[in-house]
Amino acid sequence: MQSWTIGKVRISQVIEQIVPEGIPGLMPDATPEALLAIPWLYPEFITEKGEPSLSLHAFILDTPTKRIMVDTCIGNGKDLKIAPIWDQLQTDFLEKMKAAGFPPESIDVVVCTHLHLDHVGWNTIRVDGRWVPTFPNARYLFGRVEYDFMQATHHSPDVDEAWRECNASVERESVQPVIDAGLVDLVEVDHRITDEVFLTPTIGHTPGHVSIVVRSEDESAIITGDCVHHPCQLAHPDWGTNVDADPEMSKRTRWKLFTDATEDGCLVLGTHWTGAGGGTVVRDGDAFRLEFEPTVRLP
């Protein structure tokens, strides 16, 4: 587990799963040859063969007033046939949380950057055949726009049938049970959670996607969510994924996030970044690169 301190806020990373070779086809432009041409990516973020490694993890923010969990990964026993590597997944994620000092009952707020399958799974666990909230003392924050988008996909003829079925399963298992328990607040894209933590819109991957900003004692950080999937997108902000709802808006969002980060000098933490997990963004020619403290060292 890695952690970072931003003023009075401690940010901790709890990993559910590492996918060393990435998800084939997720970023069509990110070929092995193209990735190996970005020297600072290896070995933290790509394999020696140029495969883009990915991580599934949550961030837990300890602030002076609340303990906040950002995104809840895949979860155990979820019906995700569209993604065989995650269908009926079983991991020791909750045990990792407890061992790190974060028992489920200690979480005050759960915030989901968006409502895709790999960001909401541990919202619930199965108990006696029913899906129930994993974090019984938390308020779950879902974006109002994002929730409306999830509802709309049930009936849209433009959405692939397999994705509609997946979306319905995610809602049934990981979203609706916490709504039924009365634990959900639908919030706007600029909602403030505490004095130090607030949401900021990073639209494109989904219509209501948000990132999480932390500011305390003249220090700042941003947790990207899926507006950035992999650090290679700093070198090529125009590289999108095949699951971006609005590819052009996604590109504009990345350019703005990276540009703002270079000006602010803030820590950027990637929701799917392996290795160092984050760093500061600096200009590199016409694009950007990441400066970070290495966690993986070459022999």
- Over 60: is that where the pLDDT of 298 sits? no
* pLDDT-based confidence at residue 162 (cuts at 50, 70, 90): confident
What H or E segment, with its residue span, contains residue 271? none
Residue 227 pLDDT class (50, 70, 90 cuts): very high
All residues at 6 or more sequence positions from 195 whose CB lies less than 8 Å from its CB, including other chains: 63, 64, 65
Mean pLDDT of 282-290: 97
Distances (CA, A) of 59 to 97, 191, 272: 11, 18, 11
- Compute the average pLDDT of residues 173-197: 98
Matching residue, tokens 């000098």: 265
Torsion of CA 161, 165, 170, 171, to 10 degrees: 100
Q: Are 190 and 105 a contacting pair, CB within 8 Å?
A: no
Residue partners of 228: CB distance under 8 A and separation at least 6: 234, 254, 257, 268, 270
CA dist 235 and 201 (Å) reads 22
Does the pLDDT at position 297 exceed 70?
no
Q: How confident is the model at residue 299 (pLDDT cuts 50, 70, 90)?
A: low
Tens digits of residue pLDDT in 1-32: 899 999 999 999 999 999 999 998 999 999 99
CA distance 100 to 114: 25
Ranges of each domain in the chain: 3-291
Confidence of residue 158 (pLDDT cuts 50, 70, 90): confident
Q: Is the pLDDT of residue 155 over 80?
A: no
Mean pLDDT of 170-189: 97
Strands (E), the chain: 3-6, 9-19, 54-62, 67-70, 109-111, 124-127, 130-133, 139-143, 184-187, 197-201, 210-216, 219-223, 267-269, 278-284, 287-291
Token pair 């970070």 in the structure block, residue = 292
What is the pTM (predicted TM-score) of this model? Answer: 0.96
pLDDT attached to residue 145: 97
- The rounded distance, in Å, linking the Cα atoms of 236 and 241 is 12
Which CATH number does 3-291 carry?
3.60.15.10
Q: At what angle do helices 161-170 and 144-153 cross, to 10 degrees?
A: 130
Mean pLDDT of the chain: 95
